[in-house]
Amino acid sequence: KNEVEQSPQNLTAQEGEFITINCSYSVGISALHWLQQHPGGGIVSLFMLSSGKKKHGRLIATINIQEKHSSLHITASHPRDSAVYICAVSPAGTALIFGKGTTLSVSS
């Protein structure tokens, strides 16, 4: 069993829809990261969470430490949001453990 599980694996949406991507993990962590990988391969860090909720523009990330679960929400999705979204966790003192990613495609 993978230590970091993401769902869904693939997601197709119409422009304007509300998107939710889920991440569950099985190890103790000091932080959880949400990353965005563009079609060219470059990766950008979106959020780092250790508790609660963070918001940046149309993106919202939440984490429930007790349930070992995090969600990434995109409000009013746009075709430029099309990318692979990756959840990664930081077990204390060790390198990141990555999920396999969720491929999002938003059509106009």
Q: Is 79 helix (H, G, I), strand (E, B) or coil?
A: helix
Residue 33 lies near other proteins (rule: CB under 8 A): yes
Considering only the stretches 11-19, 20-28, 62-70, 97-105, report the one whose residues sit in contact with other proteins under the rule CB under 8 A.
Answer: 97-105
Cβ neighbours of residue 56 closer than 8 Å, sequence gap 6 or more:
46, 47
Residue 51 lies near other proteins (rule: CB under 8 A): no
Please give the single-letter amino acid code of residue 25. Y
Instruction: Tell the smallest beta-carbon distance from residue 64 to other proteins (Å).
Output: 19
CB of 47 within 8 A of CB of 90?
Answer: no
**Interacting residue ranges for other proteins, rule: CB under 8 A:** 2, 4, 30-31, 33, 35, 40-45, 48, 86, 88, 90-101
